Amino acid sequence: MRIDRKRLESTIEELGRIGATERGGLTRLALTDEDRRGRDLLVGWMRQAGLRVTVDQMGNIFGERAGQPGRPPVMMGSHADSVPTGGKYDGQLGVLCALETIRTLNDHRVQTRHPVTVVVFTNEEGARFQPAMIASGVMAGKIPLEDAYNARDKDGLRLVDELERIGYLGPEPCVPRPLRAYLELHIEQGPYLEEEGLAVGVVEGIVAIAWSRLTIHGVQDHAGPTPMRIRHDALVAAAEVISGVRGIARQIGGELVTTVGSVTVSPNIPNAIPGRVTLSIDMRDPRDATLDKARWLLDGVVAEACRREGVTYELDHYWRVPYTPFDREVVSAVERAARATGAGHRRILSGAGHDAQYMAAIGPAGMVFVPSRGGRSHCEEEFTPMDDIEHGANTLLGAALELAGQP
């Protein structure tokens, strides 16, 4: 049994037109009018496929294909929101391959023991409402519903009001539900599969992530009359921290990645010595122990940089997610399915967070990766060749069928 490549390709194109940008990308932020149009299209397709469609309190959409009564479903899906000027593969490819899997089961009139369900998660990207993965987080009981409802976008609009406005504030409770398994196909968003000429990644887990926030207090002063010898420049200390953070990854090596992605300078004008700088530090590694070591080195880098410039600081290690291993049975099922498609594949780790991370707290979860051209994502250049998508979708189909079982 194989998925219908032409049909899958046409759904990717059709959904990709909603919120399409001129340069071939996608802007479909969560709970905007574009998101509503995308959701409406998906719900229509689910109904055509004979699925029972329900929407929960967080706007997550479920389309269930019946199995034997009383059995928990094999759930497959991802998200349909994007970042601004993002791509049309991140998220929606997982939803559409799940839909294609169900359409293929329908084509072949396959009965399954467990129901097979497509899920579309709300606001995965965190581009409009923070935090990211908010709706699967609520479902897993990790984020209180009230907190999620009160999340506001940059215009002050509340998530719950926007859910209601686009007609996706559903009645179903957003709580952990019994699961046979959760499967998510997603683009890799890194370069490894493409570099190695492989079509499918069998994802073993999601790396541990540590976020820190550093605020440096220098002395704001005039850029002209203040001699160099009496300056306490918060931005100069920050610059040393930024290269020091890169140095931590160089020193530890392995798979550790470190990033300073956000810097706020005050007063941020040409003729004043910066008095205050706030910056973010993101560190990721598969091993929690490595992150502990990186954090310890970071404390030293910051202390040293600030001492040299004579500035004070606060360093807040405020968010930490441990390594999330996926379920061994699910990972094996994905691997067997990948092998059966004949696609080149290997085991891989995810460096990015996904809804599957929260779903792994509810039940057995796993992921299928397909390559990202040039390793690029969250940009209009995001692209995955159709040959690889076909292998990925067939892997998803095979794994779902094995886990759902046949009577």
Shortest Å, Cβ 185 to Zn ion? 11
Residue of 35, 56, 81, 90 interacting with Zn ion (CB under 5 A) = 90
Query: How many Å apart are CA 289 and CA 291, to the nearest integer?
Result: 5
Shortest Å, Cβ 313 to Zn ion? 34
Shortest Å, Cβ 377 to Zn ion? 8
Residue carrying the six token digits 């686009």: 166
Interface stretch with Zn ion, choices 48-56, 86-94, 305-313, 365-373 (CB under 5 A): 86-94
Query: Closest CB to Zn ion belongs to which residue?
Result: 91
Interface stretch with Zn ion, choices 56-64, 82-90, 150-158, 398-406 (CB under 5 A): 82-90
Query: How many Å apart are CA 372 and CA 352, to the nearest integer?
Result: 13
Shortest Å, Cβ 378 to Zn ion? 9
Q: In terms of Cα–Cα distance, which of 312, 162, 337, 305 is closest to 238?
A: 305
Query: How many Å apart are CA 93 and CA 82, to the nearest integer?
Result: 12
Instruction: Indicate the residue among 66 and 132 with the shorter CB distance to Zn ion.
Output: 132
Instruction: Indicate the residue among 95 and 238 with the shorter CB distance to Zn ion.
Output: 95
Instruction: Indicate the residue among 77 and 91 with the shorter CB distance to Zn ion.
Output: 91
Query: What residues does 87 pair with on adjacent strands?
Result: none
Instruction: Indicate the residue among 65 and 79 with the shorter CB distance to Zn ion.
Output: 79
Three-state secondary structure call for residue 82:
coil
Q: Do the Cβ atoms of 324 and 286 come closer than 8 Å?
A: no
Three-state secondary structure call for residue 17:
coil
Shortest Å, Cβ 124 to Zn ion? 6
Interface stretch with Zn ion, choices 55-63, 88-96, 197-205, 359-367 (CB under 5 A): 88-96
Instruction: Indicate the residue among 36 and 354 with the shorter CB distance to Zn ion.
Output: 354
Q: Do the Cβ atoms of 27 and 77 come closer than 8 Å?
A: no
For residue 42, the Cα-to-chain-centroid distance in whole angstroms is 20
Shortest Å, Cβ 302 to Zn ion? 32
Instruction: Indicate the residue among 259 and 332 with the shorter CB distance to Zn ion.
Output: 259
Interface stretch with Zn ion, choices 62-70, 89-97, 135-143, 395-403 (CB under 5 A): 89-97
Instruction: Indicate the residue among 91 and 286 with the shorter CB distance to Zn ion.
Output: 91
The count of residues interacting with Zn ion (CB under 5 A) is 2
Q: Which two tokens stand for residue 375?
A: 């390793």
Spell out the alpha helix ranges (H) of 211-287.
234-252
Task: Tell me what percent of the chain is helix, strand and coil, each rounded to the nearest 5.
Answer: 35, 25, 40
Query: How many Å apart are CA 272 and CA 251, to the nearest integer?
Result: 35
Residue of 91, 115, 218, 275 interacting with Zn ion (CB under 5 A) = 91
What are the CB-based long-range contacts (under 8 Å, 24+) for 39-43?
Answer: 39/80, 39/120, 39/166, 39/168, 41/14, 41/15, 42/15, 42/80, 42/95, 42/99, 42/120
Count of beta carbons in the 10 Å neighbourhood of residue 69: 6
Instruction: Indicate the residue among 34 and 402 with the shorter CB distance to Zn ion.
Output: 34
Shortest Å, Cβ 186 to Zn ion? 6
Query: How many Å apart are CA 362 and CA 135, to the nearest integer?
Result: 13
Q: Is 77 one of the binding residues for Zn ion (CB under 5 A)?
A: no
Shortest Å, Cβ 125 to Zn ion? 7
Instruction: Indicate the residue among 30 and 400 with the shorter CB distance to Zn ion.
Output: 30
Shortest Å, Cβ 102 to Zn ion? 20
Query: How many Å apart are CA 65 and CA 95, to the nearest integer?
Result: 15
Contact positions toward Zn ion, by CB under 5 A?
A: 90-91
